[in-house]
Amino acid sequence: LKMLCTEDISMAVMLMFCSEGDNIPDAFALVYPLNDWLHLISEVNVFLSRLNWRVPPSWMLLFGSGLPPLLF
């Protein structure tokens, strides 16, 4: 941080405290203001913006991959 200040490098930090567990809603709560600032998704899609964000594939396994049906 000191180096950034002495070199006159601009930066912005967005910080949000989250609880343990499923933080997907927290991620979207953080990305909406970021989108307002940087216009990553057009305003036409603002009501559908959750559908337009690409989420990491690992989010599909947040609670495990489920049990194989052959177990039952």
Answer whether residue 70 is part of any domain: no
Answer whether residue 30 is part of any domain: yes
pLDDT of residue 50: 56
Report how far residue 32's alpha carbon sits from residue 40's, in angstroms, rounded to the nearest whole number.
Answer: 10
Answer whether residue 5 is part of any domain: yes
pLDDT of residue 43: 63
Residue 1 half-sphere exposure toward CB, CA atoms < 13 A = 2
Report how far residue 50's alpha carbon sits from residue 69's, in angstroms, rounded to the nearest whole number.
Answer: 31
Residue with tokens 């036409």: 44
Answer whether residue 10 is part of any domain: yes
Residue in 38, 40, 62 with CA at minimum distance from that of residue 49: 40
pLDDT of residue 44: 56
Domain span including residue 1:
1-43
* Residue count (the chain): 72
* Integer Rg of the chain from CA: 18
pLDDT of residue 64: 67
Total of domains in the chain: 1
pLDDT of residue 3: 78
Residues in the chain where the model's pLDDT stays below 50: none
pLDDT of residue 58: 82
Answer whether residue 13 is part of any domain: yes
Answer whether residue 37 is part of any domain: yes
